[in-house]
Structure 1
Amino acid sequence: MPPPKNLRELRGLQGRLAYIRRFISNLSGRCQPFSRLMRKDVPFVWDQACQNALESIKQYLLNPPVLMAPIKGKPLILYIAALERSLGALLAQHNDDGKENALYYLSRTLVGAEQNYTPIERVCLALVFVVQKLRHYILSHRVILISKADPLRYLMSKPVLSGRIAKWSLLLSEFEIKFVPQKAIKGQALADFLAAHPTPDNMELPADLPDEEVFAIEALTWQLYFDGAARRNGAGAGLVFITPSGGLIPYSFSLLALCSNNVAEYEALIIGLEIALEMHIDCLQAYGDSQLVVRQLNGQYAVRNATLVPYHERAKYLMSQFQDIHVSHIPRSENDKADALANLAASLTLPSERDIQVTVGERYLLPPAIERIEEVVDSNVITSSECEEEPDDLDWRHPIIEYLLLGKLPNDSRKKAEVRRRATRFLYLNDTLYKRSFDGVLLRCLSKQDATKTLRDTHAGTCGAHQAGPKLSNQLKRLGYYWPTMVRDSIKFATTCKDCQLHGDFIHQPPQQLHPTTLPWPFEAWGLDVIGMIKPKSSRQHQYILAATDYFSKWAEAIPLKEVRADDVTNFIRNHIIYRYGVPSKIISDNALYFKCKSMTKLCESISFNTRSPRVTIRRQMVKLKLSIKTTIRNSTGCTPYNLVFGSEPVLPLEVQLPSLRVALQLTNPDENANVRLAELEALDEKRLAAQQRLEIYQAQMAGAFNKKVNFRSFSIGDLVLTVRRPFVITRKMHGKFEPKWEGPYVITKVFSKGAYELSNSEGKCIYPCVNGKFVKKFYA
């Protein structure tokens, strides 16, 4: 290679050397004599120093150090150094013989404000420079960092992260890097040498690497063995993951519903695919011993069983989320581990427990005379599919503290990445873990036991205000506390607080749809109720009104009473309803004692009609308004009650004083009046049928408007509930401001139709025989 004769040829030489700079150690130092010829207004003079530099580069290229490709599964060694004007790095790796091979050389000059950085900030900048340039290497390997100072601990121990420090911390959280203090290592000397001879500022090197595509990240393939087991008393699913490095991860799930063996096989595969997606596995090879499931997924068999169609579609959807996935069939003998886990889970199905811990041990077969030795070598957890929480004895703070202090990460790949990402928001100071909030405040991290005590004191302690769940979590943040499930625990604690439930607001949404009472003919059913007490009393000391209303025609009967006695109610039903309009099919009343007396029971048995006792709305009508009620057109029927009962309208007192047209006709032509009356009686049935149809339409409209506000609430026998304190009035306050609105808890012992319940106390004694569901709410123990 001849020496360059002018500036143009020198620039061409510089460009060719820059293209292969990753293979040349200390390229910037070797090209130092060329830099003065690149300056402006400097004559091109090729002297002996330039010729020696060219010869040095030629000699180096004749015997260059061989850069090796990274070996999959082995950690990388990163040496970094930062001087006042430059940064340098070397990426290396041990081969199978234990010899350290160089993989990549990096160096650059500090420019601008970077020269004013502190020494530890320059080390952090060197590390950030390396991970940005060699991300395709570092992302797929574990990296051992060797340097004079620990940049990772510096970033994690800063009380407040802002500006470039926060950006660097967020960038490095993506990689698995472990710091090792600097020792007498040959690679460190190379890094220092590169940093001492940086690339000149006037030498522009291309940013893209020619071999980046060659050294692309290769996706690692995991293996999944799945199997399902279905038994008469339960079903289970067993999974075994094999990592690329040969590690084994077992899972076993108890299925909460009985199913066929094919459904269990599909469930096992679906659970395995969901776990693989959560672990961010891109390439998966699945093995199962069910020919039907495997061949249906591979398209060799059609899915003819309608039960398996949703499982097949779900499995195909999950398989589409992977970059590369294959499902293959293997004999049952090769799937023994997954089969054993599935049968174990199916045998240990216990609905009352969330999880069961099973210890798998290894022991010797020894004669009785020899002391037995037992060593536990492995343990697996049989977990039902509803298990979501970690064991109580595991403190969530320990992995983060170990990573911040020792750089230690969990063995699980998912937890490893999670700890690295989360650790950037935490600070370990004075033997206490703190979390940095977004507003810069340090929140003290609490254990599960301390969190429970803090919740109790904050919610119901000396200064507790019984806040709702979201407000409680915000209050804890303002006090300076934190744990991962703070919002969820706050909502649960506030929900289960007994005082909060007893003083909770009334529920105004109806729990059930409206159930209109539809009857085919007048006087089939009567509604009976007592109005009062009325203050002041009448001139004859009457203070109650006993009223009855026909559900079809809205015909009303009423009498005044001084006191409400059982005999008065029985005589009223006999004289004003039965003797006048016949025996009704039912009489509907509330739960008052005078409606459930012995005389009422005898009357019902003698005449053979039923009484019902739901809660009805009290109609505050006076006895003097009976005639106006009977002669007023009802919206539900379109007629007056008098017209539906007698076929014609009554003659009102006003019509006698000031004769109306029909009264005048009656007086002038009595015979024609008799014919008109007969015609009205003939048309009475038709009029009643039309009123019935109109009533059904009206009830349907009313039910539609009512059902829009329904918030369905239903309870079962054995549920704990609270009920509104007596009297059952939820539209206005009936007690003192600070008295509870609810009482209980009670146990539901009987469920009636249409949302009524019987409530008993904890001893089994019936307290309320029949309570409407709108006065009941669930009690959280």
Structure 2
Amino acid sequence: MTIPKTVKDIQSLTGRVAALTRFISKATDRCAPFFKALKGTKRNITWIAECDTAFSELKEYMGQALLLSTPEHGDILVIYLSVSVSAVSSVLIRSKDNAEHPVHYVSKALQDAQVRYPDIEKLAFARVVSAKCLRPYFQAHTIHVLTNQPLRQVLQKPETSGRLVKWAIELGEFDIHYKPRPAIRGQGCGPGLVLVSPDKVALEYALRFKFQASNNEAKYEALLAGLQLAKEMDAKQIQIFSDSQLVVHQVNQDFTAKDASMTAYLQHARHLLATFHAHSINQVPLSENSHADALARLASALEQGIGRHIHIEFLDQLSTQALLICTIDHSTTWIDPILQFLQNQTLPANSAEARRVRHRSARYLIINGSLYKRGFSLPYLRCLTPDEGHYVLPEIREGICGNHSGARSLAHKAIRQGYFWPPLHTDAQAFTQKCDKCQRFANIPQLPAEPLTAMISPWPFAQWGLDLIGPMPEGKGQVKYAVVAVDYFTKWAEAEALATITAARIETFVWQSIGCWPELLPEVLWSYHTTFHTSTGETPFSLSFGTEAVAPVEIGQPIYRTSTYDAKANDEQLALNLDFIDELCDQSSIRNDAYKQRIAKYYDSRVKPRAFKIGDWVMRKVSLATKNPTEGTLGPTWEGPYEIIKIYRPGTYQLRDPRGKMLPHPWNADNLKYYYK
């Protein structure tokens, strides 16, 4: 067939495609460029390069189109749905001999308001169109709709729109079941992954399955393969990016794994992640994961001969079905000596230990082969080994009836449940310390973490901090913003309300509120030098000249020393005071040191030391700048963890996040607390 040149030729082409639509996958989408070409005049058609491409692809497809299959009685048919901007399509599939054979293709163009349907409603519409076109098949067979979208939940929601309710009623007469859509890689292909080192060297790796796997199982297989590869390369920190929302949120404990397969994969992934010092996993759009997706396609083309060298691993079975080699621990526990004495009257060789076992065994007995202790709160307490206790504590505290209780409450609850082992309270204390969520929502200590550090040579007004506030409720003059400047040392604050935030307004504020300090400096210095200071017991002026300065008010309203002023006698007394000034300064210095010691003693008496060393992991206090505005007052009070990589001086630390990124400035110990891993 030649390329159409007239409107009649295009109409003839689309008519033939319409007649063969049951044999053509996504026929409407394939003909979309031809419909655009018909929008020209009757004599001239708008035939562009897109039309040439579509025409060539259609000819190529028709040359190798699959033969349609006829379903037999009792077959379960599968339907795949597809939507695009301008059309909805579907294909009815029959499975035979572990292969899928098409039965019928359906495609329909979207008209008017249908184009503006949300994607989930387009999927529902595609299912309705398929049911109408394939009604005999829907009536005679059980239909499995394979989709990863929540189509069933949307159609069964009571608050759905009118058309969705109507569609749900129309489809209610058929035997339709919804199943997760399996991955194409589950039919012989596999996922791809890219491992990038800190020096930007990329290692390409692909998997190929010899078994059926769903999309989620394939994503987990890629995650496990990447973790195993990073572990073998002796990586210490790993940052993971995946386009699977389910995998990312399950590993981050935001989603719960309810399916047995997903639970097994999640446990395997957590086991591998525990071997790294630090890790993080984040979701990325599929468009940003194109490199790994391309590797997955290349893996399927192995038999076609590809010149590019890619590491491909063949998996014969699911990773969760692989045999695990477990080590059995036969070490002696605290139960064994008591159990041997009660069963066989056997005592340890050491006389002191034998006397201790004989004395302790009086409170124990054996019931059905298990050791029990006669308790005070309950008649019998089941005795557990430390390993068994490590299972009981998480189950009681974080299980289905858990409440994240404290150490003593957790130990008491374990006793009330009927369990006992000697280091119960110690184990409960160690376990509760390591709870990540409890550490993030822990109270903020109000006591200082380091002793008082005196500033010997302060430099006030040398450094200011600027911040913008708003928008706030609009006030007089349409002001709804504020700019605030705070001096780092004296905490002196300057603020101004603004209607808009512009560079010119901020510059004006800085010059008027902060830059004006040199003009006021003489007044400030005069006030400072003539003010009595508690630390020295004197004014700075008297420490410099041996006498107090005469204030202007003493001239306007004379007092005794100004009204009896004698210049000659005054000069003699000033000279005498200057001779005594060294003694006055020494006394003031002693008084100042004593004052500082009193302040330091009071401050240090409240100190609860929190010292850290390099390599420790800490949590950082959540501030207004780092707080998530959507979490409100019930959000976490701590964030992290962060690793300490440098100590500037006691109480000041440089931090690094789990991804290896160093924080821009040091942090004080008052804002940090130890993170138990």
TM range (shorter): 0.3 to 0.5
TM-score, normalization by structure 2: 0.41
Indicate the structure (1 or 2) with the bigger Cα radius of gyration: 1
Greater share of residues in helix: 2
